[in-house]
Amino acid sequence: MKNKERYKVTVYCNQCGERYILRGNRLKTGEIETGFKQCICNNESKFHIFTERLG
């Protein structure tokens, strides 16, 4: 039985308006890991992030 919780993560860049739709896994620490690092405009910190539980 799998214990991983999967999430759909939508990231909006506040700097240029780009949108990313990612898959995320919930870590034991409670964080959602997506591997997302930065936007194409080099913004690394100014985002709106929405997470949605899958299945």
Stretch that binds Zn ion, among 1-9, 17-25, 30-38, 47-55 (CB under 5 A): 17-25
Instruction: Quote the least distance from Cβ 3 to Zn ion, whole Å.
Output: 34
Round to whole Å and give the CA distance between 24 and 13: 17
State the nearest-atom distance from the C-beta of 13 to Zn ion, in Å.
Answer: 3
Q: How far apart are CA 12 and CA 31, in angstroms?
A: 18
Site for Zn ion in 19-48 (CB under 5 A): 39, 41, 43
CB contact at 8 A, 24 and 32:
yes
Structure tokens at 5: 């919780």
Report the interface residues with Zn ion, using CB under 5 A. 13, 15-16, 18, 39, 41, 43
